[in-house]
Structure 1
Amino acid sequence: MCIVLVTTAHPKYALVVIDNRDEYILRPTSRPHWWKAKPEVPAPANGLANGVNGSAERQAPSEVEVLSSRDLQRAERGTWLGITKGGNFAVLTNYRETDTSDAAHPVHGTRSRGGMVTAWLGADPAESTEQFVHRMLDHGGVKGVGGFSLLCGKLRKVKGENNIEPLAIISNRCDHVGQVPRICGQRGSIYGLSNATYLGPEEENQESLWPKIRKGTDMLNRAVAAASDEQELVTSLFGILDTDDFPSNHTMDLEEGIPLLKDSIFIPAFGGKEHQQEMADAQQRGTVKQTGHDSPAGEILTIAARPDEQVNGFQTGLYGTQRQTVILVDWDGNVTYTERSLWDNHGNPIPRGEGDETFTFKIEGFEQEAELRN
């Protein structure tokens, strides 16, 4: 049960994002790296012209530079979080579907949820957030995908204002564009999103929020109020992501543990006997192969007897927080992106900090006038 917390309340940073990816620890996943996507110019949607100056004839650039880790389990090579040189940002959380008879909202979709993220990260840079929202909802872009919420947008400073362009939250609960919430367009805000439907400010109350969201937003509020230097801030943000309120019994079955995931920001690796044994077998094979967590970013994890195609999705080994990410974007468009790997490719724990990778860059066009406003 992933969690993403975002805020516009820090005085130095236009946007702060922190994220825990909760997943099966053995799910093959690359390290974060720059990779190139070849965008397509989207067809016009609902009268929204594409390209520059309303031209639908503009040719898409040859490639877009994307920073993210990538899921190596599915052919789409999707991701849960990423950002581009041009400021396209997206992060995804799964929606926990419980009604197996609801054909409109399948528990396990035929298409990758991670492909939703790369659809925006690999989009034509001239495509606005609003155009992308229309493209996803008007042409069935969210059909055949398992439950999800996608926070996405183009990171831009609104000209003449101390705000950034709002971000959109697309989900498979949105039937039309009017149902898509916009957040982060105002200073001083803190938002949390996990594995349930996002509740806007007009609907939110402390009783309706998951405990991990209530605690996470409160802790984030205190962290940004401290206004420490960058390294101290990053340390405190990772401290939030490490907040563990999960039961001490890490050998409970997954079915027993799933309802408890809403209570803890950090999820320690847990699972029953079968999953414990799968984890031990993977670690043993890793010892034999003498491979560690310093594998190349794009290396595919190969574990004997691990099925590449599982009907109900990848469900091998223990489940828990696999990756942690902190993103800072300052008012000049400078990005500090740090991802922390907690496990190596064979299920061995990595000491805190030893699996960190940090990237810094400046968003191209950050101070261009934003097209979308609250």
Structure 2
Amino acid sequence: MCLLTFAWKTHPQYKLIFASNRDEFYKRNTAPAQYWDNNPNVLAGKDLEAGGTWMGINKNGRFTALTNYRDLENIKSQAPSRGMLTLDYLQGTDTPQAYLEGIFNNIDAYNGFNLLAGTPEELYYLSNYEHKVRQLEPGIYGLSNALLDSDWFKVNRLKTKFTDIIKQADFSTQTLLDTMHDTTKPSDDKVQQTGLPMDRERMLSSMFIESPTYGTCSSAIVLMDYDNQVSFVERIYNTGNPEVKEQSFSFKVG
């Protein structure tokens, strides 16, 4: 996953409002969000090549999301799958803090990542480019392929649009999903610099990404209210086809 924003305990109705775009090579084999056959407690998409996931929630309210940290000069060809970090959290029982602290034993084996892990009561963040576990205070945050709240055009743009939407008393998941389909690009002086050629940096600078081989494959919205009722909506984009598929799930954290 490559872009997300979330409001944590700042909204009068929802303790968590989460919106994300998943960007990937179109040829990579993945499955949409679903209750997993081997663990029906888990609701998440699935990477059918490596076996993990990029974001998910379980029926106990354990929530997690992952983005890659882009560092082209330090890619490890034999690194373990980062998507297993999220899956292991969803299937585990450790507190978020204990789980993230446990990753420190092997943190440098992974390619760059940002990881969120939470419950209905608490939310934590870890990056192996920051090397500390942070408990997140109530607020609105944005994350892409650098550290949390990095000053990137698409992170700032998404946070601003998201903040304006959730201020509305009757905002909807559809409005949030539509907002995620924003292809606006910045001027070149505001494009993030991560070591890629400028034409590729420019292509990756918008909230919603389109190219012949790589782009935004799905968007997801997760809402959790103060009674721990969860709503999960996913919009899946078919490359080269204007038709989209949308699915929704709801459950009460037990």
Q: Which amino acid aligns with 1:245?
A: T
Q: 2:134 aligns with which of 166, 171, 181?
A: 181
Q: Which of the numbers 117, 125, 128 marks the counterpart of 2:95?
A: 128
Q: Over residues 183-215 of structure 1, what are the superposed CA-to-partner deviations in whole Å (9 max), with x where a residue is unaligned?
A: 2x32xx21000001225xxxxxxxx61011111
Name the structure 1 match of 2:65.
91
User: How do residues 52-63 of structure 1 correspond to structure 2 at under 5 angstroms?
Assistant: none
- Any idea what SS the aligned residue of 1:87 has? coil
Task: Check the 8 A contact 1:99/1:107 in 2, yes or no.
Answer: no
Asked if residue 333 in structure 1 is aligned to residue 228 in structure 2, the reply is: yes
Kindly state the Cα deviation for residue 7 of structure 1 after the two structures are TM-superposed. 0.7
CA contact (8 A) 1:91 1:151 kept: yes
The answer on whether the counterparts of 1:88 and 1:121 sit within 8 Å (CA) in structure 2 is yes
User: Does residue 1:69 correspond to 2:35, yes or no?
Assistant: no
Alignment partner, residue 179 of structure 2: 240
**How far apart, CA to CA, are the structure 2 residues paired with 1:64 and 1:143?**
31
Give the match for residue 189 of structure 2: none
Q: State the secondary structure of the residue aligned to 2:158.
A: helix
Aligned 1:162-201 pairs, distance under 5 A: 165=122, 167-175=123-131, 179-183=132-136, 185-186=137-138, 189-199=139-149
Displacement after TM superposition at 1:98 (Å): 2.7
CA 1:227–1:257 in 2, change beyond 3 Å: closer, same or farther? farther
Partner letter of residue 125 of structure 2?
Answer: I
Paired residues of 2:29 and 2:47 also in contact (CA < 8 A): yes
SS at match of 1:32: strand
Deviation at 1:65, TM superposition (A): 1.1
Residue 255 (structure 1) shift:
4.7
Which has the greater radius of gyration? Answer: 1
The CA distance in 2 between the partners of 1:27 and 1:209, in whole Å, is 29
Contact 1:109 1:146 in 2 (8 A): no
Give a deviation string over 1:37-57, Cα, whole Å, max 9, x none.
6xxxxxxxxxxxxxxxxxxxx
- Within a 5 Å distance, the mapping from 1:281-320 to structure 2 comes to 318-320=213-215
- The equivalent residue for 1:221 is 163
- In structure 1, the gaps of 5 or more residues are 38-62, 101-105, 157-164, 200-207, 248-253, 272-317, 365-374
Partner residue in 1 for 2:114: 149
**Distance (Å, rounded) in 2 between the aligned partners of 1:35 and 1:190:** 30
The secondary structure found in structure 1 opposite 2:241 is coil
What SS is found at the alignment partner of 1:31? strand
- Report the 3-state secondary structure (helix = DSSP H, G, I; strand = E; otherwise coil) of the residue aligned with 2:4: strand
Question: Judging changes above 3 Å, is the alpha-carbon distance between structure 1 residues 108 and 194 closer, same or farther for their aligned structure 2 residues?
Answer: farther
One-letter code of the match for 1:266?
F
CA 1:93–1:198 in 2, change beyond 3 Å: closer, same or farther? Answer: same
State the identity %. 30
**CA offsets, 1:280-329, max 9 Å, x none?**
xxxxxxxxxxxxxxxxxxxxxxxxxxxxxxxxxxxxxx100011100011
Residues matched between the structures, number: 244
Which TM-score applies when normalising by structure 1?
0.61
> Is the Cα contact below 8 Å between 1:6 and 1:191 reproduced in 2?
yes
How many Å apart are 1:171 and its aligned residue?
Answer: 1.6
Q: CA RMSD in A?
A: 2.1
Specify every segment of 5 or more residues in structure 2 that has no aligned partner in the other structure, as ranges: 187-195
Look up the SS of the partner of 1:10 in the other structure. coil
Contact 1:325–1:340, Cα closer than 8 Å, also in 2: yes
Give me the TM-score of the superposition, normalised by structure 2: 0.88
Aligned to 1:112: 81
